[in-house]
């Protein structure tokens, strides 16, 4: 069974700092990996999707990388802002048949003005 | 940008009552999912639905749960006889194809009293 872990569980940084969130998964035979943002009591907003054949994806100040062989992905946030405060979740998909994503435990990020 | 719409946003029900959670997936999507998140815990997979049938379900998705796509636009989750432990945020998601990742709705907070 796929286990997805995110480290750290919580992170507090001053505004403007660059930061890295980590995601690790136990089964490297993944199909794709998706990073989400979740605001308190709200739904999941997709940030970046990486296919298993890709090494990284970028969107604005966000960059996600994938190292399938080592079972790791990182989400890099440049020049953090207070509006980036949220919980960040990674989720891995194992197959091309559209079945379940396995979610990580999440990293709660606070950016201090 | 196309959205997944969920109603209601919050539902309170008495233990033992039936509830139906409703979702309108993105119109040209083919894969549909329900997930839940108990407060403070991971997002957990419940069920995936494709081509008018369940393609995968988790251990959580027992005989008390059912899904339906009654009219080609709605996708519903029914819990037949709710228990206190069913209290959670329920998320609907849809996908055009497995490689395109998920789009999530904003969730229905179910409170069983």
pLDDT category at A111 given cuts 50, 70, 90 is very high
Chain A residue numbers touching B45 (CB-CB < 8 A): 100-102
Which tokens belong to A1? 């069974």
Report the residue of chain A nearest B45, measured CA to CA.
A100
Question: CA–CA separation, A50 vs A68, rounded Å?
Answer: 11
- pLDDT of A36: 97
User: For A99, which of B55, B89, B93 is closest by C-beta distance?
Assistant: B55
Cβ atoms of B78 and B46 closer than 8 Å: no
Q: Tens of pLDDT along A62-102?
A: 999 999 999 999 999 999 999 999 999 999 998 767 678 99
User: For B95, which of A51, A98, A105 is closest by C-beta distance?
Assistant: A98
- pLDDT of A98: 66
Using a CB–CB cutoff of 8 Å, tell me whether A31 touches chain B: yes
Report the residue of chain B nearest A46, measured CA to CA.
B103
Tokens 């199909």 belong to residue: A31
Report the residue of chain B nearest A106, measured CA to CA.
B42
Nearest Cα residue to A66 out of A91, A87, A99, A95: A91
Q: Tens of pLDDT along B72-111?
A: 789 999 999 999 999 999 999 999 987 888 999 999 999 9
Please tell me the distance in Å from A94's CA to the nearest CA on chain B.
10
- The yes-or-no verdict on residue B49 having pLDDT over 90 is yes
DSSP state of B100: G
- Termini Cα distance of chain B: 36
Q: Tens of pLDDT along A8-60?
A: 999 999 999 999 999 999 988 899 999 999 998 888 999 999 999 999 999 99
Cβ atoms of B110 and B19 closer than 8 Å: yes
A36 with B42: Cβ contact below 8 A: no
User: For A42, which of B58, B101, B106 is closest by C-beta distance?
Assistant: B106
């Amino acid at each position: 069974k796929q286990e997805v872990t995110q480290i750290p569980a919580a992170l507090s940084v001053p505004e403007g700092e660059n930061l890295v969130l980590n995601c690790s998964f136990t089964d490297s035979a993944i199909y794709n990996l998706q990073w989400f943002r979740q605001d308190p009591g709200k739904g999941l907003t997709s940030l970046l999707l990486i296919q298993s054949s890709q090494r990284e994806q970028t969107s604005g100040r966000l960059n996600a990388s994938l190292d399938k062989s080592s079972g790791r992905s990182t989400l890099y946030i440049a020049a953090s802002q207070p509006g980036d405060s949220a919980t960040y979740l990674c989720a891995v998909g194992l197959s091309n048949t559209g079945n379940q994503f396995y979610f990580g435990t999440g990293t709660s990020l606070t950016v201090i003005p | 940008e196309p959205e997944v719409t969920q109603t209601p946003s919050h539902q309170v029900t008495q233990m033992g009552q039936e509830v139906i959670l409703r979702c309108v997936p993105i119109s040209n999507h083919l894969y549909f999912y329900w997930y839940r998140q108990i407060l403070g815990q991971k997002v957990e997979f419940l069920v995936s639905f494709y081509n008018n049938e369940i393609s995968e379900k988790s251990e959580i998705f027992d005989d008390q749960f059912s899904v339906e796509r009654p009219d080609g636009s709605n996708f519903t989750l029914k819990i037949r006889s709710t228990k206190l432990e069913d209290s959670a945020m329920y998320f609907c998601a849809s996908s055009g194809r497995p490689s395109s990742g998920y789009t999530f709705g904003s969730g229905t907070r179910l409170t069983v009293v």
